[in-house]
Structure 1
Amino acid sequence: MNVPKNIQRKPQILITGAAGATAQRVIERLRETCDLVAVDARIQVPLGDDIPSYCIDFNHRSFEDLFRRYQFDGVIHLGRIRSSQLTRLRRYNANVLGTQKLLDLSHKYGIQRIVVLSTFHVYGAMAYNPALIDESAPMKSAGLSADLIDSVELENLANLYLWRFPELNITILRPCNIVGPSVQNTMGRLLASHRAPVLAGFSPMMQFMHIDDMADAIVLAYNKPVRGIFNVASDDWVAYQRALELSGCTRIPVPSIPPVLPRLILRTLRLQSFPAYLMEFFKYPVVIDGQAFAKEFGFQPKRPLKEIFRFYRDNKRPL
């Protein structure tokens, strides 16, 4: 049967990190208008008969088979492994070497659009950070722990390909804290807890993005092929201790020095802790300027901070 010429093929998109909450929401937004293929290096995610789903290590030869089998028009790379997952070596292989393999295959097979999800953590948290950080600020890899270096290297790779291969149309997104339903990162778990630690004498300003707004931002970015690096954040922020209060958390002050002491105290109190590699982010503000992204892509978050914190306040698990 001949397909009528006026019927166009749906765009076919490879989405990595399919097991993540953000990827799940991006998939729901695109499944009606695009042909999607989902991949995750950790587990295979059932997404229904209309979306092929695979569990594949990006460094494995079978990953290239997907590029041969499907005619991908674009890639949405959400597969960055967080520092709380896997060992450091396996995380480096997935985040850095895996991303390099993905970008190499994208260039080899003529991909025309790539969105890469990075993180605001690449700026580093330091006492002398500017009050509002824009995209021209350096990534302070020298001030980051070893657990965050692979995030910087992942973005450095994407940045290299962005300028070396302009035909890939790469957009790199650096979002602030992503929180909300089903989010299992450090900040999400802290806001969801009944009792949360604070470092005595510190309450840095922080930004929060609802996961649904972040999914909207990723879809907007994919649909408008503008190359470059963009912060993604609202123009509102709040002190960390105030965020806990609004989320219904009891704040437990712990001393910040010596560095090992907070971990010992939190373990003794059986409290959700902030991991060592993020300790400085609970001392010093890292407030990013999201105006460039908002202007270029027409992005405006729909969920205000009060809605975000109300969700955590109203959905505490029984003690």
Structure 2
Amino acid sequence: MRPAIVVTGISGNLGRTLAKLLHKSERIIGIDRRPFVGRPKDVEMYQLDLRKKKAEDVFRKNEIRAVIHMGIMHDPRMSEEEHHSFNVVGTTRLLEYCAKYGVKKVVFLSSANVYGPSPDNSNFLTEDAPLMASSRFSGVRDLIEVDMLAHGFFWRHPDINTVILRPVHIVGPTIRNAPSNYLRLRHPWTLAGFDPMVQLIHMEDVARAMVEALRPEPKGVYNVVGPGEVPLSSVLRELGHVSIPVPHPIARPVLSMLFKYRLANFPPPELDHIQFLCNVDGSRWRKELGWKPHHSMRDTIRSVIGE
């Protein structure tokens, strides 16, 4: 049988998008705790937890040429203990299997959110900027730890071509993350006196970036940007939404109460993203890969409402 590409987290909306791009040209093995709805028949699927010993069987019984790791839990309502165990322990096990069974290419999907929005941020953060998001948002701590695990793996195993992708806010018609959920609100909150520039990327462009990362050339950490950056007010105007300006001193305590009683799905620490800058420099990825997103800014914005 042909050498395979293992994709963790394949059952999510982004994973399914990636599988559609890859399965006709590559042998794909998916690993996810969830079932893969609408799975192409030629995609092999293992419904299991990376923390379990059975996950190693996938590597022992198959020749794996590459791994794309997206199997990260982002549910803000799950306990910190479960988040840490699933994300950090699961990633650690996966790295052990990659080293033990001679995988030659490993691609990690991280996020530009690891830098963290801050009033002290420069206009465009490079890949060398410190990962400060957890100082204001403890829920991102696991994502930073996984990013650092991948970074350490890169240096410890120079024989393995490791790529860490940090895309900006991912949006799309089936994406259910905090940015997409916020942009679907008919009357979203904004913070009075603040109108930060934001960067968005279409889910299909992120899937393309992961495919590009499988090429022999890329190695190391890359910020991945979409078609540019625009003020938050312009995004909301394009969607036809009428925002509600809220004074920032009262926004967090009010949203905390609404989130606690499940009257809002927007975690309070995410308010930083509609108050402060967290824009990144994607020039390294553009130069080394000749990268251009397929989706325009207007298409990317309107994708959150399925247009």
What band does the TM-score fall into relative to the shorter chain? over 0.9
Letter in 1 for 2:111: T
> 1:149 maps to which residue?
141
**TM-score, normalised to structure 1's length?**
0.89
Unaligned runs of 5+ in 1: 1-8
Structure 1 residue 312, shift from structure 2 partner? 4.2
The one of 110, 114, 119 aligned to 1:122: 114
After superposition, where does 1:170-181 map in structure 2 within 5 Å? 170-181=162-173
Output one character per residue of 1:77-122: Cα deviation in whole Å (capped at 9) or x when no partner.
0111114263221111111111011001100000000000001111
The one of 293, 297, 302 aligned to 1:301: 293
Letter in 1 for 2:73: I
Q: Is 1:237 the equivalent of 2:229?
A: yes
CA-based RMSD: 2.1
Q: 1:248 to 1:224 in 2, by over 3 A?
A: farther
The one of 19, 26, 38 aligned to 1:27: 19
Which 10-residue stretch deviates more, 103-112 or 52-61?
52-61
Output one character per residue of 1:157-191: Cα deviation in whole Å (capped at 9) or x when no partner.
00000010012211000000010121111111122
The one of 246, 250, 254 aligned to 2:242: 250
Distance 2:59 2:147 in 1: 22
Distance 1:86 1:18 in 2: 20
Letter in 1 for 2:16: Q
Which 10-residue stretch deviates more, 231-240 or 91-100?
231-240
- Residue-pair matches, total: 305
Structure 1 residue 244, shift from structure 2 partner? 1.3
Q: Is 1:289 the equivalent of 2:281?
A: yes
Question: Is the Cα contact below 8 Å between 2:202 and 2:303 reproduced in 1?
Answer: no
Q: Is 1:210 the equivalent of 2:189?
A: no
Question: Is the Cα contact below 8 Å between 1:248 and 1:313 reproduced in 2?
Answer: no
**TM-score, normalised to structure 2's length?**
0.93
Q: Is 1:66 the equivalent of 2:29?
A: no
Q: 1:243 to 1:266 in 2, by over 3 A?
A: farther
Distance 1:166 1:150 in 2: 24
> 2:36 maps to which residue?
45
> 1:226 maps to which residue?
218
Point out the structure with max Rg over C-alpha: 1
Question: Is the Cα contact below 8 Å between 2:197 and 2:230 reproduced in 1?
Answer: yes
Distance 1:205 1:266 in 2: 25
Distance 1:262 1:276 in 2: 6
Unaligned runs of 5+ in 2: none
Letter in 1 for 2:292: Q
Q: 1:204 to 1:83 in 2, by over 3 A?
A: farther
Letter in 2 for 1:72: I
Distance 1:273 1:301 in 2: 29
